[in-house]
Chains A and B, each alone.
Chain A
Amino acid sequence: MIRKLLVVLLCAGSLSAHAALDPAQVRQLAAEDSSDKVAAIRQLTQTADPDAVRVLKAMADDNLYLAGDQTVIIEGDKAFDAATGEAIKMPANPESPTVNNRIRGELASALAALKLFDPDVTVRLTSAQKLQSQVTPEMAPLLARALEKESDARIKALLVLAHAQANLGNEDPEARMAAVKALAETSSPTIKSVLLPLTEKAGEPDDKVRYEAIATVKAIDSRLAMAENFGRAFSGLSLGSILLLGALGLAITYGVMGIINMAHGELLMVGAYATYGMQTLFRAYLPDYLDWYLPAAIPAAFFAAALVGVVMERTVIRWLYGRTLETLLATWGISLVLIQAARVLFGAQNVEVANPSWMSGGIEIMPNLILPWNRIIIVGFAMFVLFLVWVLMNKTRLGMFVRAVTQNRPMAGCVGVPTARIDTMAFALGAGIAGLGGVALSQISNVGPDMGQGYIVDSFMVVVVGGVGQLAGAVWAALGLGIFSKLLEGWAGAVIAKIAILVCIIIFIQKRPQGIFALKGRFVE
């Protein structure tokens, strides 16, 4: 290995000594046969000479000409010798060599490869990144040279990979072995596909190298699978966060009043439309601060949904206490009215809510695992809302009253808790939290009149599984259901996963009708 490096080093040294290119090689660029041209381009690329960049660029720009036996570059009214770069007299009748698409492609990749020697670090980095998927065995010496010169650690790591890939086709089994070993630490699907031919006898005659390749592919596979599962678990976590935002409010209203609010999904919709409205306001009046419409939308969505909740409670739900089944129907009616109202006000089409720029992009953890920022922020947001609700329920007087009414309404009334007002407050709180869920939802899915319909069944499932009136239950159930359904989706498809989850929940209810976390205490049915 060291000897090889030395040779490369010497080569590089000798090349930089005489700056000019070999005129015969340059002459080949204008050869009749396309294959000869390609060969010349590749050879020139190998030199990694800045002069080569100049010549190849001229050829790509159709500035390379043949004048007799001399290859010249003509730019406007000036002519240069292609090999040396010296200005010469304008030749009499220069001929332009044919540059067809194959040659153009070859030129483009050659120029890209030569960018590895660019003085600018960022240019080198992007070039090295681009190279990863298009390494050919001929590039090996070039890459070795680039590796030698490179000082930046990130680019170096990329180049090591590229060099190893190029060396997989090396004649020398030792070199191949070294290359396979160098690739053992990676986890990219492209490198796996490069390694695959080496796992078969036809592709790799040497047993040792083949076994190494097989082991490496296995290792890459397991890392890929891990990344995939991790990605699924993460999307499950973000789905769970959405479910949690939907279910928290529902858990409060169901816990306090024992009613299912079928319009809960529509309160999510109200929150999402409030976000849309805030975005429209910012576009019209504060276009410079458009990125900050989202923080402003959070209180707006909370209060809009809470207001709708208060109106619902005061006008309809209040009159139906103790008649839970009727409340179910009445709130369903409210949801129909709200959906149609959204259609009339905003149109039946989905409206566009854009992610602020600080939410786009993501963190790349592995080549096939990117965690998008908007999902990460939603998980964080859900945790934040959860924390607020926890504080509100456990550390404030209002929270104490709500818990008291949940546990024993008549007794709470007897000791002076204003149960009717607590009902309104709790309902407004639940509605407001749904509105916050709508803000989160607007960032990852369509905002339209029907958007809430899909969440009511899911949200209720969370409440059922978690147990009534229990924040901890809602949290565990939401995250559990989210992650479980995403993992299941991975190998069974979305529809089957959904059906399986619903069936599992129906069976689960048989065993524990009170949910995972049941309230402790005495109850009268």
Chain B
Amino acid sequence: MRKPLTLRILSALDSKGWLALGVFLALALVVVPLLHLAVPEDSAFHLSTYFITLIGKIMCYALVAVAMDLIWGYGGILSLGHGLFFALGGYAFGMYLMRQIGRDGSYGADIPDFMVFLDWKEIPWFWSGSDSFLWVAILVIVVPALVAFIFGYFAFRSRIKGVYFSIITQALTYAAMLLFFRNETGFGGNNGFTDFKRVLGFSVTSPETRLVLFGLTAVMLAVTLVFASWLVKSKFGRVLTAIRDAESRVMFIGYNPLWYKLTIWVISAVLCGIAGALYVPQVGIINPSEMSPANSIEIAIWVAVGGRGTLIGPIIGAFVVNLAKSWFTVSFPEYWLFFLGLLFIVVTLMLPQGLVGLWKKLMARKEGAAA
């Protein structure tokens, strides 16, 4: 007989893990809001709006990194097109945010400004229902899932893998970027969606809304982490890892890798979509450059820096790389690409297990020295 659900969820993390998760949630849900709202602005402990937005953004990235790790670290499939699913989620939620602007746009029309600009008279069919939060929430999940399913089904069925798969996902996101750059596609062309005013009737710029979005992102990240830990320890996760290590053998034993790969691929895409949906109201803009191949490949480096095949690694990687990025682009903008490029080279050459692997090695050496 199987263990009850609560027990299975509890066994996803060890006691240390649950403790860390608790501390993280307490920080995100209690300490950060207090420091932002209650502490006066001139105090050294005050957290600025910039900080809240930055960390909120990076938590969205961390969510994407965990999604990427599930497919790459555990499935052995390197996707260079995850930016597409992220952007699809973002665009889906952006549609709702655009509709929430209502008549407050610069043309004062019922339809979003860019449609007025295109001389469209009414909302096109694929926008119908986008004023309903519930419908859009469904879209955020269903659209990336559907795209991932269709693409993944055909790709995995013909057993495309390795660099072939990577490059084809890159071509996919590149094609989608070109498509979204067109004005006629109906998603704002070059400029994408921006100038949001409200979400569920609350102003997107008010500190309270920002904190709620921040908290939601933190909770989503925590839930994803627990879910992913459970998933990779389950039988499903074990078969997946086996496929990564020796696909032919798994097939000879009698498993069909197609459905395992496809499931993790769709789950990963949905997580990216949700991250995109949380990202857009916090950052306030979504445009086709999110789908550029360079963005997608950067996701891979977050995972690689943190450590593939561990779940905490991608989160650490996303934080380290993105904090470095926001520091570099302010202080030494011309050296950022050098740093990023060298990061790609150094991590792949010298840190195949990432920072987590390095930490483990150091601990092992320390223990060895102590013994």
Interface of B is mostly: helix
A460 part of interface (Cβ distance < 8 Å): yes
Contact of B154 among A325, A510, A525 (CB under 8 A): A510
B328 to chain A, nearest CB (A): 12
B345 part of interface (Cβ distance < 8 Å): yes
Contact of A324 among B151, B159, B163, B349 (CB under 8 A): B163
Chain B contacts for A498, CB-based, 8 A = 175, 178
Q: Mark A302-313, 1 if CB is under 8 A from B, else 0.
A: 000000000000
B292 to chain A, nearest CB (A): 9
| Chain B interface category by residue count | 35 or more
- With known contacts A320-B349, A325-B163, A337–B168 Cβ distance under 8 A: no
Whether B179 pairs with A457 at a CB distance below 8 angstroms is no
B341 part of interface (Cβ distance < 8 Å): yes
Q: Identify which of residues 198-214 in chain B touch chain A, using a CB-to-CB cut-off of 8 Å.
A: none
- With known contacts A326-B352, A330-B349, A334-B345, A506–B157 Cβ distance under 8 A: no
Whether B345 pairs with A316 at a CB distance below 8 angstroms is yes
Question: Nearest residue in A to B171 (C-beta to C-beta)?
Answer: A502
* Stretch of A40-48, A339-347, A413-421 at the chain-chain interface: A339-347
Q: Identify which of residues 314-331 in chain A touch chain B, using a CB-to-CB cut-off of 8 Å.
A: 316, 319-320, 323-330
Whether B171 pairs with A505 at a CB distance below 8 angstroms is yes
Whether A344 pairs with B334 at a CB distance below 8 angstroms is yes
Question: Nearest residue in A to B151 (C-beta to C-beta)?
Answer: A506
- With known contacts A513-B158, A513-B159, A330–B344 Cβ distance under 8 A: yes
Whether B162 pairs with A324 at a CB distance below 8 angstroms is yes
Q: Mark B346-361, 1 if CB is under 8 A from A, else 0.
A: 0111001000000000
Question: Nearest residue in B to A335 (C-beta to C-beta)?
Answer: B341
B342 part of interface (Cβ distance < 8 Å): yes
Q: Identify which of residues 309-341 in chain B touch chain A, using a CB-to-CB cut-off of 8 Å.
A: 334-335, 337-338, 340-341
Whether B163 pairs with A506 at a CB distance below 8 angstroms is no
Chain B contacts for A325, CB-based, 8 A = 72, 78, 162-163, 166
B174 part of interface (Cβ distance < 8 Å): yes
Whether A329 pairs with B344 at a CB distance below 8 angstroms is yes
Contact of B166 among A319, A328, A461, A499 (CB under 8 A): A328
Q: Interface residue count for A (Cβ, 8 Å)?
A: 44
- With known contacts A325-B78, A506-B168, A457–B174 Cβ distance under 8 A: yes
Contact of B345 among A260, A323, A333, A340 (CB under 8 A): A333
Whether B341 pairs with A333 at a CB distance below 8 angstroms is yes
Q: Identify which of residues 321-375 in chain A touch chain B, using a CB-to-CB cut-off of 8 Å.
A: 323-330, 332-341, 343-344
- Alpha-carbon distance between A430 and B157 when the two chains are bound, in angstroms: 32
B91 part of interface (Cβ distance < 8 Å): no
B13 part of interface (Cβ distance < 8 Å): no
B25 part of interface (Cβ distance < 8 Å): no
Contact of A510 among B158, B163, B342 (CB under 8 A): B158
Chain A contacts for B174, CB-based, 8 A = 457, 502
Question: Nearest residue in A to B293 (C-beta to C-beta)?
Answer: A457
B213 to chain A, nearest CB (A): 32
Question: Nearest residue in A to B153 (C-beta to C-beta)?
Answer: A510
Chain B contacts for A259, CB-based, 8 A = 163
A126 to chain B, nearest CB (A): 44
Q: Which 9 A-B pairs have the closest CB atoms?
A: A333-B344, A336-B341, A337-B341, A340-B337, A502-B175, A330-B348, A326-B348, A333-B341, A333-B345
A-B contact pairs, 18 of them (CB 8 A): A260-B166, A260-B167, A319-B349, A324-B163, A325-B166, A329-B344, A330-B349, A334-B344, A334-B345, A339-B337, A340-B334, A461-B171, A464-B168, A495-B182, A506-B151, A506-B172, A507-B154, A511-B158
